[in-house]
Amino acid sequence: MPSSAHDGNASQALEDVRGIFALSDALRGEPCLISQLVRIAIHAVGRDTALRLMPHCRWSDAELETLQTSFQSARFNEEMAHAMCGERAALLRALDDMPLGPLRQSNARMALRLCADSIEGFSGSWQDALVRQREVGGEIRSLAKDAFSRLRFTGVILIFPATSMAAVAGAQAEARQKSANAAIAVWRFRLQHDRWPDSLDEINGMELGETTERTRKLTDPFDGNPLRYKVEERRILIYSVGDNEVDDGGALYRKGQKQPLDAGVSFKR
């Protein structure tokens, strides 16, 4: 948490938080999946820090709008597609270095086709991306199960990246990005109307940081439905159904659960 918040300097705290997003943005365009996963992790630090500070720093409406600008700079699906282009080049080079003999060309052709499928999948919606990456992963597992295919495509089986896991990570990142942006919009609504909104339907495009794309900004990337919104006694929850595509009531953190069932944010009222 930025030390300036402890010093009572809310404006400097805001700049510190925006600096975290700027660090994440420095990885925009890096042509490999690992870099994009690091970008997602840094973005999460900025997001969580902003939401922890928001009730205490009492940022103005204009300051919250600048924070939304930082939140929304990431385009995780487009960046994953670009990263896969870099992965394709790295994969082909790695196959050239492997002792595959006469099987090098068949491995290269298979790698190119699977990469094309993956890139095309990341270029659409997250729902399409998740389906396509699971299909790619399933095809690689099928190759590994068949003795002849396992021998023929050893290189691809061994080193093709785990695109399905990357897709889940990207979709979760966008779900939390949208949820956090909506949380700031809810806070802006309260500043303007002196009450919490009863639903996200009350939030307008301006409060979401832009005058356009209101519906897209409030759409769950996992199931295409609106983000869920719950007002509890001590907190407000905004969330996506997550990878299991089941509404678990906003189970962002559950004792004994390795991963949250839903993907979103909560903040104190």
Q: Is the pLDDT of residue 80 over 90?
A: yes
For residue 258, the model assigns a pLDDT of 65
Q: Mark which of 161, 178, 202 sits at the end of a domain.
A: 161
Of residues 58 and 118, more confidently modeled: 118
For residues 70 and 170, state if they share a domain.
yes
Q: Mark which of 122, 144, 161 sits at the end of a domain.
A: 161
Q: Is the pLDDT of residue 172 over 80?
A: yes
For residues 65 and 92, state if they share a domain.
no
For residue 220, the model assigns a pLDDT of 94
For residues 34 and 100, state if they share a domain.
no
For residues 90 and 154, state if they share a domain.
yes
For residues 172 and 154, state if they share a domain.
no
pLDDT band at 107 (very low <50, low <70, confident <90, very high): very high
User: How many domains is the chain partitioned into structurally?
Assistant: 2
- Which domain, by its residues, includes 238? 3-74+166-268
For residues 16 and 142, state if they share a domain.
no
pLDDT band at 250 (very low <50, low <70, confident <90, very high): confident
pLDDT tens profile 139-158 = 999 999 999 999 999 999 99
For residues 219 and 262, state if they share a domain.
yes
For residues 252 and 176, state if they share a domain.
yes
What value does the mean pLDDT of the chain take?
90
Q: Please, which residues have CB within 8 angstroms of residue 174's CB and are 6 or more apart in sequence? A: 76, 77, 126, 221
For residues 59 and 173, state if they share a domain.
yes
For residues 67 and 197, state if they share a domain.
yes
For residue 210, the model assigns a pLDDT of 66
For residues 130 and 240, state if they share a domain.
no
Q: Mark which of 120, 142, 161 sits at the end of a domain.
A: 161
Percentage of the chain beyond pLDDT 90 is: 74
Q: Is the pLDDT of residue 254 over 70?
A: no
Q: Is the pLDDT of residue 225 over 80?
A: yes
C-alpha–C-alpha distance, residues 262 and 106, integer Å: 41
Q: What is the pTM of this model?
A: 0.89
- Rg of the chain in Å (alpha carbons): 21
pLDDT tens profile 32-48 = 999 999 999 999 999 99
Q: Which of 57, 55, 70, 19 is nearest to 266 (CA)?
A: 55
pLDDT band at 234 (very low <50, low <70, confident <90, very high): confident
For residues 9 and 57, state if they share a domain.
yes
